[in-house]
Amino acid sequence: RNALLCQLTADACGLPVVAGPAEAAAFGNVLVQARAQGRVGDLPAMRRLLAATQPLTWYEPRGDTRRWETARARLAGGPPGLP
């Protein structure tokens, strides 16, 4: 439900983020139970079913990633003063 967090995640990772329903855990539970009963196919089939029945929002990475790469490099060394 947090569009800003989704967009920042896409920007930081350089990968698309797909946000689904807030009830994703419940949907996952239902789909796994349906799979166990043979009512739905494999994981790709479950994904297609969810995409066809629930609104999904795609967040694409935006523009220049240099600021994220700089922050990642700075954090890779760990906090100053720690071994």
User: Is residue 71 in a domain?
Assistant: yes
Q: How far apart are CA 32 and CA 34, in angstroms?
A: 5
User: Is residue 30 in a domain?
Assistant: yes
Q: For residue 46, what pLDDT is reported? A: 93
Sequence-ordered alpha helix ranges (H) in the chain = 3-13, 24-36, 43-53, 66-76
56-68 tens-digit pLDDT: 999 999 988 888 8
Same domain, 36 and 47: yes
Counting residues of the chain whose pLDDT is more than 70, the rounded percentage is 94
Same domain, 25 and 43: yes
Domain tally for the chain? 2
Instruction: Please give the structure tokens belonging to residue 54.
Output: 């629930």
Domain span including residue 26: 21-55
Q: For residue 80, what pLDDT is reported? A: 67
Q: How far apart are CA 18 and CA 15, in angstroms?
A: 10
Helix (H) or strand (E) run with residue 59 in it: strand 57-59
Range scoring the smallest mean pLDDT among 11-15, 30-34, 56-60: 11-15
